Every structure is written in structure tokens, then in C-alpha cells.
């Protein structure tokens, strides 16, 4: 099938090949949690929450000079019709955990455990990226010291065109799918995953496109955090 219409250049959902999806973020959706965020990329909707560092439950895993980062990723039963995504829960938890561990300053909280909970409410492709973005917002909201803002997005290559932000339909086409997670300001890559195969020169183009998408998301996240900080400070008063 044609993923990019040859006449008009539109994709299946009406975007151009390098258009990002509609992004929306909200902070503080879970009142009881120390930090929480709701992140939407297109139709993919994800909620993340984090609680303040607690004592490590499994003493054998305790690291004496830094915090232990744990992430639990789960998809709500109503999030998608197809159920096979559910089985990748452990793998995606590990991916998110490693990405966040690269950006939290864990040595400032020794002998403790940081739990990040991410729940996918609506899955339309790129759940992994949406979870990482939501987790970044959550950690910034809970005032965990972080090295940088981590953002993530995916790009693919269908109908001989690099496409930014694959939705579920394009993802199911089983074409090449590159997921990139970067530290936005430091310009460092913390996550790079790919499915299927790509020639190396096309891969560079696709990865570059994904990095551009990540930077756009980082800019948005930064604005959201700035707005939120301003609001909180102005209300606290003198």
C-alpha cells in the first residue's frame, strides 16, 4: 500500500513526511504522586508518575553510592485492540529505565530507590518514545536532579521516504523503524533501537530526522516546564 501518496505527498493521516505529531503535555495529573505527567503524541496517550526516593526494598540490589532506578511500564487493557504489544512490557521497562538512569544524577541519592511508573492509556505507535518523554516531565516535576532533558521519537523509511513519527499503521507495515532517545542540550544519544534493515546511508538520514524530531519535542517540554515553574512560583508568593 502507499504510505506516502505519490500525487500529494501526504501520509495516511494527512501529515507530510517530516511533520511531527500533535504533542500535548500536562504536569501534575496524579495529585498524590510527587511528580506526574500526561504526555500525548498524536493519539498515543501516556501517564507517568514518580514517588520520592524510598529505601530499597530488595536489599541485595542496593547500591551504596547511588540510587537504584526502576521503571514499570504497562499498557492498559483498553489501550489497543491488538494484544501482542503487552508481551514486550519487560523489554520496554528496561529500555526506559536505562534511558532515565543516564540522565538522573543518581549519585546524589545513595542507598535509595526511584520508582517510575508509566501507563499507556492509548496506543497508536511510538509508545516507547511517549513513555520516555512522559518520564522526563515527571522527573522534572518531582524535582529530581537531572543532567538534561531526555526526549525520544521514532522515524521510519516507507515508500522510499524517511518518515518522522510513525503511527500504528505505519509501524505495522514492518518497515525499518528507528527509535532515538537523546539528551537534548548535550546532544548525546542514550537510546538507539532499530527494527528491520536499512542501508547505512539511508539510516543516517533517518536517524538525523529522528534527532530533529527529538529536539523539537525537547523545546516543547522545556516550554511546558518553564510555564509550570512560573505558575507555581507566582502563586507561592512572598
Partner 1 sequence: MISRLSSRRRLAEPAQPSLLLLPSDSTSPPDFLPCLAVLLPSLSISSVLPAPAQPFLLPSLSPSFLALSLRSSLLTAQPFLFLSLSPSAHSSRAPSYSRHSSQQLPYSVVAPHINKEAAMTTMLRELRLSLNQTQRVRLQSALQSLQEMSSLASTITVVADTIPVNHEDSILKGHGTSDLNGEVVATLCGVVERINKLVYVRAQRARYKPEVGDIIVGRVIEIAPKRWRLEINFSQDAVLMLSSMNLPDGIQRRRTAVDELNMRSIFEENDVICAEVRGFQHDGSLHLQARSQKYGKLERGMLLTVPAYLVKRRKQHLHHLQQYGIDLILGCNGFIWVGEHVNSHGENDSAANRENREDAVNKTGELQVIQEVQEPERTTPLEVRQHICRVANSVRLLSALGFNLTVEFIIDTVEASISSNTDIKDMLAAEFYVQTAEREVQRRVSLSRKH
Among 4, 42, 114, 176, binds partner 1 (CB under 8 A): 42
Among 83, 94, 143, 202, binds partner 1 (CB under 8 A): 143
* Contact string (CB under 8 A) for partner 1, positions 68-107, x = contact: --------x-xxxxx----------------------x--
3-class SS string, the chain: CCCECCCCCCECCCCCCCCCCCEEEEECCCCCCCEEEEEEECCEEEEEEECCCEECCCHHHCCCCCCEEEEEEEECCCCCCCCHHHHHHHHHHHHHHHHHHHHECHHHCCCEEEEEEEEEEECCCCHHHHHHHHHHHHHHHCCCCECCCEEEEEEEEECCEEEECCCHHHHCCCCCEEEEEEECCCCEEEEEEEECCCCHHHHHHHHHHHHHHHHHHHHHHHHHHHHHHHHHHHHHCC
Per CB under 8 A, the segment of 58-66, 83-91, 146-154, 191-199 that binds partner 1 is 146-154
Does 122 contact partner 1 by CB under 8 A? Answer: yes
Binders of partner 1 among 153-182, rule CB under 8 A?
Answer: 164-165, 167-169
Per CB under 8 A, the segment of 25-33, 61-69, 174-182, 189-197 that binds partner 1 is 25-33
Among 15, 48, 97, 127, binds partner 1 (CB under 8 A): 15
Residue placing its CB nearer to partner 1 in the complex, 19 or 72: 19
The backbone torsions φ and ψ at residue 44, rounded to the nearest 5 degrees and listed phi first, read: -80, 125
Does 1 contact partner 1 by CB under 8 A? Answer: yes
Residues in the interface with partner 1 (CB under 8 A) total: 87
Does 226 contact partner 1 by CB under 8 A? Answer: yes
* Contact string (CB under 8 A) for partner 1, positions 187-206, x = contact: --------------------
Residue placing its CB nearer to partner 1 in the complex, 7 or 200: 7
Per CB under 8 A, the segment of 51-59, 65-73, 173-181, 191-199 that binds partner 1 is 51-59
Strand order, beta sheet including 150-158: 161-164, 150-158, 177-183, 188-195
Among 47, 48, 67, 114, binds partner 1 (CB under 8 A): 47
**Three cell numbers written together for 118:** 508509566
Amino acid at each position: 500500500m502507499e504510505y506516502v501518496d505519490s500525487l500529494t505527498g501526504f501520509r495516511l493521516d494527512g501529515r507530510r513526511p517530516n511533520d511531527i505529531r500533535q504533542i500535548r503535555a500536562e504536569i501534575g495529573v496524579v495529585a498524590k504522586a510527587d511528580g506526574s505527567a500526561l504526555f500525548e503524541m498524536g493519539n498515543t496517550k501516556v501517564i507517568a508518575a514518580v514517588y520520592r526516593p524510598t529505601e530499597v526494598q530488595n536489599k541485595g540490589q542496593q547500591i551504596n553510592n547511588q540510587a537504584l532506578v526502576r521503571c514499570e511500564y504497562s499498557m492498559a487493557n483498553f489501550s489497543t485492540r491488538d494484544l501482542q504489544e503487552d508481551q514486550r512490557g519487560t523489554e520496554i521497562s528496561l529500555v526506559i529505565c536505562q534511558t532515565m538512569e543516564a540522565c538522573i544524577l543518581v549519585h546524589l541519592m545513595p542507598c535509595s530507590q526511584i520508582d517510575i511508573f508509566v501507563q499507556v492509556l492509548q496506543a497508536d505507535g511510538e509508545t516507547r518514545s511517549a513513555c520516555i518523554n512522559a518520564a522526563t516531565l515527571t522527573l522534572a516535576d518531582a524535582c529530581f536532579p537531572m543532567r538534561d532533558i531526555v526526549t525520544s521519537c521514532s522515524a521510519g523509511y516507507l515508500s522510499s521516504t524517511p518518515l518522522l513519527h510513525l503511527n500504528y499503521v505505519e509501524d505495522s507495515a514492518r518497515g525499518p523503524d528507528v527509535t532515538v532517545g537523546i539528551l537534548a542540550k548535550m546532544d548525546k544519544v542514550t537510546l538507539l533501537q532499530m527494527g528491520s534493515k536499512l542501508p547505512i546511508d539511508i539510516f543516517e538520514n533517518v536517524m538525523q530526522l529522528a534527532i530533529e524530531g527529538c529536539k523539537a519535542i525537547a523545546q516543547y517540554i522545556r516550554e511546558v516546564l518553564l510555564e509550570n515553574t512560573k505558575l507555581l512560583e507566582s502563586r507561592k508568593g512572598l
